[in-house]
Amino acid sequence: MRLEIRDVSFFYESTPILADVTFSVGEGEFLGVMGPNGSGKTTLLRCMCKVLEPGVGAILIDGRDLKKFSRSEVAKSVGVVPQGPMVDAAFSVFEIVLMGRTSHIDRFGAESSKDLEAVEEAMKVTDTLHLADRTFDELSGGERQRVIIARALAQEPKVLLLDEPTVHLDIKYQLEVLGLIERLNKRTGIVIVAVFHDLNLASQHCDSIILLHNGRIEAIGPPEQVLTPESIRRIYG
């Protein structure tokens, strides 16, 4: 499994937001995307799940151009944990996680035993099975985040994209959520690409880090090589 970003540039109107972005992530790797506000992190994540299409360059999953993926093929390959997901609070946890199977279920069909197994497995690894009948608004911040991760995992994706997965969480839940992501990554080999603001959390959990600045990659590599006092001063002022 390999996710490749090749010479990607993205423009809103004529304003360049990403420029010549190139990197790749392989099975079992946990990549952090960092950079100041407005540096293009969310735009990059949106390109990687085809919500946005880059004007220049290509994004490849196992060598196949994302441009050629149908919506449902994208959903089966890439799971997304967005920032502040829109979830109808009246749905039960089970129903929310089952929504992750939408791309696998025929339009007018019912869920199969395979769908229910995938939901159960996603809930098991995120430790949310015991919350199945609760509604979203009854959950703590950490539990909500685990449910949204379970929904993404129910898709059985090869790549999991997370936009600031620990923002708004207390330190206890930050560690809980990051511990979960790290275990998944190492146990199943799922590729993780996560946007982080917190330099400490990112350096503790990521195998490598991309530092974006004005839409360009300023540095890429292991945290200790990328997050140096010099680079932090230069990029974050």
With respect to ligand ADP, which residue has the nearer C-beta, 33 or 148? 33
CB 217 within 8 A of CB 231: no
Q: Which stretch binds ligand ADP (CB under 6 A): 37-45, 57-65, 143-151, 219-227?
A: 37-45
In the chain, helix, strand, coil percent, each to 5?
A: 40, 25, 30
Q: Which stretch binds ligand ADP (CB under 6 A): 33-41, 69-77, 133-141, 174-182?
A: 33-41
Helices (H), the chain: 41-48, 71-77, 93-99, 113-125, 141-154, 171-188, 199-205, 223-226, 229-236
Residue position matching structure tokens 């360009």: 216
With respect to ligand ADP, which residue has the nearer C-beta, 49 or 122? 49
Segment 40-79, which members bind ligand ADP (CB under 6 A)? 40-43
Q: Which stretch binds ligand ADP (CB under 6 A): 31-39, 53-61, 145-153, 200-208?
A: 31-39
What does the block give as tokens for 146? 């685990």
Nearest distance in Å: CB 202, ligand ADP = 14
Note the residues at the interface with ligand ADP (CB under 6 A). 12, 17, 35, 37-43
